[in-house]
Chains A and B, each alone.
Chain A
C-alpha cells in the first residue's frame, strides 16, 4: 500500500527531529521533496549537457556543406537522441524538480503526498536514460528514426529497438507517477486557507500540466507498445503489408505529442508568472484569467494534433478544423502575454538575472508562437513542412521558452535553496551571452526553411552555407555560455547570505521560511492568508 505524507509525518513525530541521512544513502532512499527536487534538477542538468553535446555534433556537421565529421546514419541517431534526451531527460525533469522543491512550500504542505512513490519516480529516470544511451554502443547504432519514431522507418532500427521502447515506457511511467503525486499533493495537502483560486500560478500551471501528463503519456506508451508487438509478435497495427495503417501511428503519436509541447511550456508560464510580479513590485495582473487561459490552452492542446500531419493528406474539413483550432490557441496565449505586460506596466521594475531571463522568455517565446501561427495555416504548412522553418519554430518555443524559464526559476529560487546569493555579474553574463547566441543559432533557421532547406539532413546545397555557418557559430557560443551557469552553481555558496525574503517584493509562502529552506518545512500547516497579507 502506498505510503502517504501523513504516514511519514506520523513516524516522524515518534522520532527525534532529524536532518538528512549522511552519504549516498541520503540520495538513494530519500523521501524528502527537497532532496528529490535537487536530484531531478542535477539529473536534468547532466542530460542538458549530454543532449547539448549531441546538438554540437549536429551543428559541427552542418557548419559547412558536404559531409565533415560523421556518417549520415550517426547524424540521424544524433538528431533522434538529442530530441529524446532534451524533451524527456532535460526539460521535463527540470520542471518536475522545480515542482518537487517548490509546490509543497508554496501550498504550505510538509512534503509531497506520496513520498516513496516520489523517490521511485526519480530513480526510474537514470535507469531509462542509461538504457537509452547504451543504444549508442549497440550493433546497428542508436535509434535514428527521429523522436517521432514513425513506422515503418523505426522498425528498421537495429538491436536498439526494444531498448528504445523499454526506455520510453520507463520515462512515461516516471512522468505518470510524478504527475499523480503532484495532483494528489495539490488537491489534498494545501494549507487550510489556501483556496484553489488563491494558489500561486506556478502551482496552477503544474496542476494543469499534471492532468495533461496523465492523459497523454499512456497514449505514447500504447503507441510504442503497438510498435513493439508489430516488430516481435506478428501484429500489423502500423504495417500496411499486413493491413495496418502507418498514418494511425502518426495520429496516436501526435495526440500525445502536441499536449507534450504544452507539458513543456505551461510550467514555464507558471515560473514567469511568479518572477515578473516580484521584479515589477506589483501583483500579477489578472491571476484568475491566467488560470482560465492555461486551462483553455490545455483543453485546446487535445484537439489540434493533426496540424503536424497536414501533408499526409486529409479531407478539407479536417484541414480547416485543425487549422482554426490551432489558431484559437493564440487567444489564451495572447491573454497570458497581455497579463505579463500589464503586470510590468508602471511597475517599479528592476532587472536582476531571473527577470532578464523572464523578459527574454516573453519576447522570444512570442516569436516562436508567431511562427507557430504561420505553420498552422494549412496551405502554407505544406510549403514549410519538414523544413528548417519548423526547426526554428520549435527551438524558439523550447530554448528561449522552456529552458530560459528554467534558468529564470533556478536564479530566482537558488538563494532560497542554498541560503546564499548567487554571483549576479556572472548571471548577467550568462543571460546576455545565451540570448545573443540563441538568436544567432535559431533565427537564421527561419530563412533556411523558407529557402527550402529540409530538416534532418547531414549535407545541403551550397546556397544554404552562410546561414548554416552562422547557426553553427551560435550553437557553439550558446553551448560554451552554459559553462557560466555551471560556474555559478559551483560557487553558489560563496556569495553573501540571503535573507529569508531574498528579493524586495516576493509573494508566496516559500518566502516565509528561512533561507536556506530547512529540511522539513510546514510540519504544522501555516495560515496561508495571514502570511500572504503580511507581504502586502
Chain B
C-alpha cells in the first residue's frame, strides 16, 4: 500500500525562482505516474521533493497518511533510480544490489537469496562479480533498477532512467519496465521529457511547464482532450499542427474557420455541436485551430470518411516526405511554419507536388490565442 498526496507543494530556490509551485496531486497505490515536460519544468525537482533530496519550502507531502515534509530520505521508504544510474563504483554488482539490505542489517543468507532473485528477474546473474566500470549502459541500468526493487519500497522514483540508452535499448527497457510494474505491483513515479515514454508507460500523466502542473490524466485522455495549447503541442509526434484562423459566419447558419495569411480562402466548416461547445462564435474572432497529423486526410481518405465538404481550398505544396513503412508523413509550409500530415503509405505524392488536404473536423481543437486554453476542452472526460 502506498498513497502519496502532495498538497500545494512548492520549492522556492530564491525569492524570485520557484522550481515547483502549488503542486497538487494524489498518487494511488499501484499507479504508474509520469511527470513529463520540457527541461526545467520542475519534474525532477518534484521527484526529489518526494524522495526527500530537496526541501519542501511550502505545502505538505503525505505518504500513507503520514506527513513527510521533515522526514529524512531513508525514513520515507522510497527507492530511486537516477538518470546516471549512480552505481557505487567501488562495489561489485553484487555489492551494489546488496548495499541497501546490508546497512539494514538483513542476515547475510537472506541478502544472498534476494540478490540472486533480483539478478534473475533482470537477467544480470552473470555480472554479479563485475564492477560498474565494466558494464555497458544497459547493464548499468538493470543494476540500478535491481538495487531499487530489491528493497520492496513503498514506491519507485525514477528520474529519466532511460535517457542515456540508445533508441533500441530504450524501447526494450520500456517494455521491461511495464512488465516489472505488473510483476511488482508497486507504485512508480517516473520522470521523463520523452513524450513517447510518457504515453506508453503511464497510467497517469502529469504534464508540467515552468513549475506548474498543466494537466493530469490518463495518456489517451490527455492526448485527445488537451487542456491548452502547450499540452496539445507537447504530446504527440509529429506534434499537433496549429493554424491561426478567424471565425466567419457563413450563409445558411454555418460557421467556418478561415485560415489567416493564406489569401486563397482556405476554409474549414464547423459542425453544429462543435459550434455550440465552443461557445463564443463572434464573427471575426481570432482562434488557433489545432489538428493532429493523423486527423488530416488526402482525397481518398476524406472520401471514405465523407468529410470532403468540411474543408475548402486546402491545397499545399509538399516540402518534405518521410516514408516510415507503415505510413507516409508529408510536410508542408503554412503561416511560416512547417506542418505534418500522416497518410497511408499508398499516397505517392512527392516533394514539390501539390496535394489537396481535408481536415477531420470532429477531431480538431480550438484554442484561444490570448489565454491558450482549449475552447473545446471537456471537463467530464478527465
A and B interact physically: no
B residues in contact (CB < 8 Å) with A: none
